[in-house]
Structure 1
Amino acid sequence: MQRRAFLSLLSAFVGGASAPKLFAQSFAPEGAPARATADYDFWFTRLAYDSGNWDVDQRMPANLVTSLIDYTGLRVDPNEHVLALADPRMLQAPFCYLSGHKLVEFNADERRNFERYVRNGGFVFVDDCNHDIDGLFAKSFEAEMARLFGPRALGKLPNDHPLYSSFFKFDGPPTTSFELNGWGDDLVHDYLKGIEIDGRLGVLYSNKDYGCEWDYDWRNKRWLAEDNTRFAVNIVMYALTA
């Protein structure tokens, strides 16, 4: 699909009068999967990092991909791509996911790629599986962000942020069934956090455990009163068009 046609397609989906900006192609395609750039508008990339446990919520990517196919006309790669954060190929991804509930302590290569990716137009959705604000993942990840982007870079997103209207309309971050189950901090977090670079959100950070919320057998989706993966569509569409 040519860039102009893709922009027109996205504009129609988000209902805007003018075509939104596609994910910034700030990186040369060297080392990127050729079929991903040639055949698909979107592919899901999970980031593996040396510390902690990155391979959580294993069914979540398939549910997110299914919703993108159901609700949008994007050409979506059905496969999850797992890349090491230290691998330069992650710089080619239109969207990256990083999660876990243990220690986050990046090595030098991981820090370099994470910062370069975000500063050059990339988008990382980071989800704390502990769904709390003072657990090991939260404290260690936030310390990494302070080291890379400054102590005040990670801030609360207002509930009228464009993220909440990039496709479906939300009044703020949807709650999850895990926030009041006694496993986390027993709070419903009425905000998400993020890091903006030049006015664009490059890191979206959640303590709400969306990964677990969307990690279910797809056959159980029919029993949901409302599809809880719709917010995942917003996150991806914001990543592609902001």
Structure 2
Amino acid sequence: MNRRHFLKLLSVALAGSTLPLNLNAFERQHQVGIARLRYQGGNDNPRPGALRRLLQEVGRHTSVEVNPVVSEIWGRREELFLHPMIAMAGDRGYDPLPDEVIENLRLYLSSGGFLYIDSAEGLTDGPFMESVRRDLARVFPDRPIATVPRDHTVHKSFYLIDRPVGRLDIAANLEGIFDEERASVLINPNDLLGALARDAFGGWEHQVSPGGDRQRDMAQRLAVNIVLYALTIDYKADQVHIPFILRRRRWRVD
């Protein structure tokens, strides 16, 4: 049983009487989707369309089948457990998450779920990041936010990434919350989604600084890595086989 199927079966056990509401989602269990966590008092969608673009990158560069429809959820338990990856974004402070959502996130993340947090405010310690740290301390009072080392699996789950950039390059490392070696939460202050966002005509919505097109390309690769990590966690910690796979598929990584 792979991790996605485990989470969905667990959702049935936890949802109980809500089982009939979840059947439609089970019909697409071979596809990978991302849910966006909504909240009150801030801007929970600063880069509209960017998560869909992220899924397109995954589908284009890997063999993963993606569901391009990004679900919007408020942190109810039955919603969380239908998705192996939840994304949360913002560009300003927001109201504290309700206690029920905090409890649901704790259960979801402790059971194998994954939360990716992307800041679009252009600061490593701005109001959005302060709100994030406040709520993560409520989710896991005994697990501090830590720096993600450069040799962590997320930097090599598909592409080899030297530096986790986004629209900006203001933070040299990702941050996260760990359950032993597994990162259940990853935090990126570099506005990764800003590097992926396109307008209605297909053009890039935001300039990338300071590295231009090369930095945008590396941000796209990091986005793919994060989704692959959310699906597989640490089974690719030993990356010896990756160059062979990439050569066989004729994918370049430089």
Which TM class, normalised by the smaller chain length? 0.7 to 0.9
Consecutive unaligned residues in structure 2, runs of 5 or more: 205-211, 234-254
Superposed counterparts of 1:114-133, under 5 Å:
114-133=105-124
For the structure 1 residues 99 and 177, does the alpha-carbon distance in structure 2 shift closer, same or farther, using more than 3 Å as the test? Answer: closer
Once the two structures are TM-superposed, the CA of residue 33 in structure 1 deviates from its matched residue by 4.3
In 2, are the aligned partners of 1:36 and 1:43 still within 8 Å (CA)? no
Q: Which amino acid aligns with 1:195?
A: I
- Distance in 1 separating the partners of 2:5 and 2:148: 20
Once the two structures are TM-superposed, the CA of residue 87 in structure 1 deviates from its matched residue by 5.2
Q: Which amino acid aligns with 1:54?
A: D
In 2, are the aligned partners of 1:49 and 1:86 still within 8 Å (CA)? no
Secondary structure of the 1:63 match is helix
- Equivalent residue in structure 1 for 2:85, among 85, 88, 95: 95
1:155 maps to 146
For the structure 1 residues 101 and 192, does the alpha-carbon distance in structure 2 shift closer, same or farther, using more than 3 Å as the test? Answer: same
- Equivalent residue in structure 2 for 1:75, among 65, 81, 84: 65
Consecutive unaligned residues in structure 1, runs of 5 or more: 8-20, 180-187
Once the two structures are TM-superposed, the CA of residue 24 in structure 1 deviates from its matched residue by 4.8
Aligned positions, number: 214
Cα offsets for 1:10-68 (capped at 9, x unmatched):
xxxxxxxxxxx667527233456434333233111101112322122112012111111
Is 1:64–2:54 an aligned residue pair? yes
- Equivalent residue in structure 2 for 1:199, among 171, 181, 189: 181
Identity level (%) = 24
TM-score after normalising by structure 1: 0.79
TM-score after normalising by structure 2: 0.76
Decide which moves more: 147-156 or 205-214: 147-156
- Distance in 2 separating the partners of 1:52 and 1:33: 29
Q: Which amino acid aligns with 1:134?
A: D
- Distance in 2 separating the partners of 1:103 and 1:87: 24
Q: Which amino acid aligns with 1:197?
A: D
Secondary structure of the 2:54 match is helix
Once the two structures are TM-superposed, the CA of residue 157 in structure 1 deviates from its matched residue by 0.5
Superposed counterparts of 1:226-237, under 5 Å:
227=217, 228-237=219-228
1:28 maps to 11
Cα offsets for 1:134-160 (capped at 9, x unmatched):
211111211211222126521000011
Once the two structures are TM-superposed, the CA of residue 75 in structure 1 deviates from its matched residue by 1.7
In 2, are the aligned partners of 1:51 and 1:106 still within 8 Å (CA)? no
In 2, are the aligned partners of 1:24 and 1:122 still within 8 Å (CA)? no
